[in-house]
Structure 1
Amino acid sequence: MSETTRRDGDEARKRAALWGLLARVVIERPTPQWLDELEAALGAADGSRPLAPQLGALLAALRKSRRHPGGATVLAVDRTRLLSMVMHGETLTAPCESAALGVAPGGDRVLDVLRSYREAGFEPMALLGAPDHLGNELQFVAHLCRQEGEALAAGDDAAAQRCRAQQLRFLSRHLMAWVPAHCEQLAAKAATGYYAAAATLIGRACKLSMDEVDPFTPMAVAA
């Protein structure tokens, strides 16, 4: 394996770790075990990466929330209000692509999401309530990054190239179409600093993924 291929594989795995972490921030309930794990991961984040300020802000907000009695309960209530498929009012749509864009849940856009999943062998979490839920879409990008890393490790450059093309297509057609704007709403309406910081981090990650000259510049979190 060439040094370039090895480096590209490492970067793909780092991207997978980042997108997987973002997905878990959305999906996981704020249990003590998960918050311990998240705090450790954020504490080990590479401070030289483009997302370092947002990762640091999330870590600070997490630590602040944990210093207060009942902090996990407050976080759980805020998570339900912001990231579940219930309790949404007129000013905050459900956290899924179809709701955010005001299109039919069974329409062409969601069918395209499902087609992308199927082509890559990805199974969305039914418990999230919608295949185009933010957590599922973030997990899918992590899945594609992992597949890219595995293809590079196996010396299959053609498969790795297909994975990169799938990432670009899904990021540009789907995540960028709604996630940054939706995350701005989430950050503004969050009742906790933790979920405000999480929303800001996710929105910024999506923008960086497309704004960089090389859209796959790694924004790593230590595994």
Structure 2
Amino acid sequence: MNQPLRLSTTDDSDELARAEVYGLLAQLFYAPPSHELYEQLQVAPTVAPVAGAFLESSWTDVVGASRRLGREQAAAEYDALFLGIGKPEVFLYGSHHLAGALNEKPLVALRDTLAELGLERAETVTETEDHIAYLCEAMRFLIAGDDVAVSNLATQRRFFDTHLRAWAGAMCEQIAAHPAADFYRTVALFAQAFFAVESQAFDMLDA
């Protein structure tokens, strides 16, 4: 069984590791990996950035894929899967997975939550807030932010349960199963494992 993350800890390194994983996923899902990010992946240690057997195996696969494939191949794969002309092969938006269409009620609910948290989309961000990258970045903020009234476990769990838990894993499965996915298959499986560990850890808060 995968080990849950230790959400209650006196060691800030565990929380920092969680925040960094969310930040990495936000970068990888928002755009093709930059040269700098891809070079960092290629030399990254294969020990999982956070505890959990599922994470160590899937993280090793991400690093291995980055060493096996050129950055241009990973970038072309991103374009083929998530951009394309017209309808993308895989949608990265919560509204699509939850409501079957973009800009639906899940996005409205998310915007209400973000307003309550004092968060808003930067002008430079072109995607709507229910994009998986935006949600991962929001979780990173809720873990690593300085305002304890906002960045705390209770808020993290509510946000994750309301806006990520119901669809993020299924989206990852869809990516991993796509025949055009190679590098992003490993990214999706790592993300799926990470979200599963997060779910288990949040569930254990009441145990």
Aligned position for 1:97: 94
Partners in 2 of 1:130 and 1:81 — Cα distance? 20
* Aligned-residue offset at 1:25: 1.6
Which of 23, 26, 47 aligns to 1:23? It is 26
Identity in percent: 22
Q: TM-score w.r.t. structure 2 length?
A: 0.80
* Aligned-residue offset at 1:104: 5.0
Partners in 2 of 1:140 and 1:85 — Cα distance? 26
Counting only pairs closer than 5 Å after superposition, residues 32-111 of structure 1 correspond to structure 2 as 32-40=35-43, 42-43=44-45, 45-46=47-48, 49-50=51-52, 51-65=55-69, 71-84=70-83, 87-88=86-87, 92-103=89-100, 105-111=102-108
Q: TM-score w.r.t. structure 1 length?
A: 0.75
CA-based RMSD of the aligned residues comes to 2.7
Aligned position for 2:4: none
Q: Give runs of ≥4 in structure 1 deviating > 6 Å.
A: none
Partners in 1 of 2:47 and 2:119 — Cα distance? 27
Which segments of 5 or more consecutive residues in structure 2 lack a partner in the other structure?
1-7
Which segments of 5 or more consecutive residues in structure 1 lack a partner in the other structure?
66-70, 216-223
The one-character-per-residue Cα deviations of 1:148-177 (angstroms, maximum 9, x if unpaired) are xx35xxxx5xx27x6211211121122111
Q: Does structure 2 retain, via aligned residues, the 8 Å contact 1:30–1:76? A: yes
Partners in 2 of 1:102 and 1:86 — Cα distance? 22
Q: SS state of the match for residue 166, structure 2?
A: helix
Q: Does structure 2 retain, via aligned residues, the 8 Å contact 1:141–1:167? A: yes
The one-character-per-residue Cα deviations of 1:96-118 (angstroms, maximum 9, x if unpaired) are 00112234544332112112222
Partners in 2 of 1:85 and 1:167 — Cα distance? 33
More helix by share: 1
Tell me which amino acid in the other structure corresponds to 1:132. Answer: D
Partners in 2 of 1:211 and 1:62 — Cα distance? 28
Q: Does structure 2 retain, via aligned residues, the 8 Å contact 1:82–1:88? A: no
* Aligned-residue offset at 1:85: 7.7
Aligned position for 2:128: 130
Higher relative CO (Cα under 8 Å, sequence separation at least 6) belongs to 1
- Number of residue equivalences: 194
Tell me which amino acid in the other structure corresponds to 2:76. Answer: V
Partners in 2 of 1:140 and 1:48 — Cα distance? 19
